[in-house]
Amino acid sequence: MIRRTALRALTTVAVTAALTLPLIQETQAATPDMAAPAAVTTAATGNSDDDNPFSRMELDGLRADFQFMCPTGHCVGFWSLVLTEDVAQQDFTGGKFFVYAPATGEFGFFLDTDIAVRTVERPGQVRLIGTEFMRSHPRVEIRYGDPGQPDRARVVASATTLV
């Protein structure tokens, strides 16, 4: 139990650091309302595709989404991948969503508000950020089913890095 709690705390710190540092350095100043909720979806207008870290990826069932997150009152903008509307509206029952790299059999994490989680239950919770996991695996898949049996889970979306 203590080990799991420590792992979650470490993962949260790592994801927050991975999100905040590059975004503070790269994000051009936007002055959002400080009373905004923790994560506010915004239109990608004003953000060129050059800023989109996923622009050199082939996306199937996923789309790039730009948001602001204000976890400690300091807002930063960031890009993430979310399910497309047509995929998100499909019927999903009896399993969980998880990120999987089929070439290595490794699992990734979703960003749920400002916490890294291995699985999510609803399509609207599927949110991938540009982590080392995404950069080190040429293809990642969003699968739905039992994470204990990833080969039997249904592939619902994928992101492939173009060379």
pLDDT score at 94: 93
What pLDDT was estimated at residue 144? 98
User: In the prediction, which pLDDT does 70 show?
Assistant: 81
DSSP structural state of residue 33: -
State how many domains the chain has: 1
What distance in Å separates the CA atoms of residue 128 and residue 98, rounded to the nearest whole number? Answer: 10
Question: Sign (positive/negative) of CA torsion 129, 75, 16, 85?
Answer: negative
Which is it for strands 115-117 and 110-112: parallel, antiparallel or unpaired? antiparallel
What domain range includes position 88?
2-161
Q: What pLDDT score was predicted for residue 31? A: 35
Q: What is the pLDDT along the chain (163 residues), one digit of tens a residue?
A: 554 444 444 444 444 444 443 433 333 333 333 333 344 444 444 445 568 888 889 999 999 999 888 877 788 888 999 999 999 999 999 999 999 999 999 999 999 877 899 999 999 999 998 878 888 999 999 999 999 999 999 999 999 998 7
Q: Which amino acid is at 96?
A: K
Q: Write down the pTM of the prediction.
A: 0.69
